[in-house]
Amino acid sequence: MFKKSVNKNIVKRLDGRHIKYVTERMPDGIDSVIGKDGALIIKGDEFLVYASADVVFRVKTDELQASELLSLEGVILTAPDIQRNREVRTVIAYYTHYTRYFK
């Protein structure tokens, strides 16, 4: 119960955050850049990672697992991606230096 409420708080705080780039963690453990210059957006019951003028990750907010990096320079997001036949993906979004402060 505690973990879900913490996760919901993190997801709400991420809405509107600007990101400089997004990587995807591949099954072999290597991270690949999948987008640059974008934002994290909550739209209805979906969480979107928008980068490189496209949605690179789209998931249901209630299925999203989110944890911030220890450096607080980004967030790790894991969930079934709606745009990829609900394939479970892990992406890491790195915030820009001029991020807005949490509410």
The residue ranges of every structural domain in the chain are 2-95
Q: Is there a contact between 38 and 50 (Cβ–Cβ < 8 Å)?
A: yes
Confidence of residue 99 (pLDDT cuts 50, 70, 90): very low
pLDDT of residue 2: 40
CA distance 82 to 64: 12
Tell me the CATH architecture of domain 2-95: Roll (2.30)
Q: What is the pLDDT of residues 12-42, one digit of tens each?
A: 889 999 999 999 999 898 999 999 999 999 9
Whether the per-residue pLDDT at 1 is higher than 50: the answer is no
Mean pLDDT on 29-57: 95
Confidence of residue 6 (pLDDT cuts 50, 70, 90): low
The position carrying tokens 């991020």 is 99
**Is the pTM for the entire model greater than 0.75?**
yes
